[in-house]
């Protein structure tokens, strides 16, 4: 970075070099399901079958555990989970400042009714 004062003044010229490594980007994973792929009729039938598959002589806790395990398996069967990796900037403050600038601009546009650009 070079900063030089071209106008006559009582300030000194400041020249320096700054070598900082660029912060690495964080890699995060997200797991999602596309619930639009679920066939509602098949899903309903699977849950109904889970209720009827409970043994009639079993106690309530056993029936509840079996039903809950079937409830947990149903989404995986109809809409499998997909995991993807996303790169995020490691400096969250920069994102914060960008968001604040956007909010300030939107507030200005709303109050004045004009676009500052």
Beta carbons of 39 and 77 less than 8 angstroms apart: no
User: What ranges make up the beta strands (E) of the chain?
Assistant: 2-3, 14-15, 26-32, 82-88
Q: What backbone phi and psi angles, to 5 degrees, belong to 112?
A: -95, -20
**pLDDT tens digit string along 49-68?**
877 777 777 788 888 888 88
Binned at pLDDT 50, 70 and 90, residue 83 comes out as very high
With 70 as the cut, is the pLDDT of residue 5 above it? no
**Residue 31: which of 83, 78, 69, 73 has the closest Cα?**
83
Q: Please name every residue paired with 26 in a beta bridge, in sequence order, or none if there are none.
A: 88
Kindly report the pTM of this predicted structure: 0.42
Alpha carbon distance 54, 65 (integer Å)? 10
């Amino acid at each position: 970075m070079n900063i030089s004062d071209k106008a006559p003044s009582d300030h000194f010229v400041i020249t320096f070099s700054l070598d900082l490594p660029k912060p690495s980007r964080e890699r995060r994973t997200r797991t999602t399901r596309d619930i639009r792929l679920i066939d509602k009729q098949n899903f309903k039938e699977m849950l109904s079958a889970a209720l009827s598959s409970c043994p009639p002589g079993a106690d309530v806790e056993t029936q509840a555990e079996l039903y809950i395990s079937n409830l947990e398996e149903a989404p995986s069967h109809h809409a499998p989970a997909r995991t993807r990796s996303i790169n995020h900037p490691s400096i969250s403050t920069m994102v914060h400042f960008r968001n604040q600038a956007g909010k300030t601009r939107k507030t200005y546009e709303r109050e004045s009714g004009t676009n500052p650009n």
